[in-house]
Amino acid sequence: ATTPTVSHSHSSQQPRDAVSSSNRKHNKMESMADVVPAIIFDLDGTLLDTEALSDRAMLAVYDSWLSEQIKQERKADGLRIPWELKKKILGLRGAEWAPIVIDYAYQHWNVPRDKITASELWAQWESRLNELCPEVEACAGALNLVTIIDKSNIAMAIATSSRSEAVKKKSSRHGAMFSKIKLVVPGDHEAVKNGKPAPDIYLEAARQLQIDKENMRKCLVFEDALSGVRAGKAAGCMVVAVPDPRF
């Protein structure tokens, strides 16, 4: 029988190559973290595709007051609210967007302003949206992007206008993504006195990530709403806009 031969030079070289490759990857990841110390994501419309569900929830609140013509128009548009309204409220907290919706409904849908208060609209919309949360899907590419960043040693956070309870419901089906992002600053956080486009929420996220003022300019923000883009810029960050395809 022939005794198999073992190439000692090859077997010893392979671990060295593997170690060298591992070191290169580690150094590359460290250098990425030096360039971009933190990435802060908006949630709705950026990581989770909640905007279509948000529109459905809004229309459900107004359903009994809408004419059949308006209902058919909205149905033909995939149960989305008109873009002229949507672009005004994207990224805002309920206290800020509810009066805008009430005014729009009065002007364009003939719904009297006294049918519902801003706080009632916010609460009813949130309740309807919570019912739809099991249907929330991740935005295309979001999990893959978060996974890549997670491997690069770059700190991550979410800064969302949504209230904390709403965030819990929206994230319930997406543990694989949210387990990689340890920090979430919701819109009802005590330090967030002013909603987007004010920089408060991004400044608070950076503070909790221990990012100093000098490094704020290196932080990267992902946003889908103009109000959020302005908030990120006002905080001194670089901003990547991921706009609604209807924009």
Which of 42, 55, 200, 224 does the annotation list as catalytic? 42
Which of 44, 55, 200, 224 does the annotation list as catalytic? 44
Q: Parallel, antiparallel, or unpaired: how do β-strands 238-241 and 38-41 relate?
A: unpaired
244 is catalytic: no
Alpha helices of the chain — where are they, by DSSP H? 8-35, 51-62, 68-76, 83-89, 94-109, 118-132, 142-150, 164-171, 175-178, 200-208, 213-216, 226-234
Burial of 160 from C-beta contacts in 10 A (0-12 / 13-18 / 19+):
buried
49 is catalytic: no
Q: Other CB atoms closer than 10 Å to residue 87's CB: what's the count?
A: 15
What is the distance between the terminal CA atoms of the chain, rounded to a whole angstrom? 74
Sorted by sequence, the CB contacts under 8 Å of residue 32 that are 6+ apart come out as 152, 153, 154
Known catalytic residues are: 42, 44
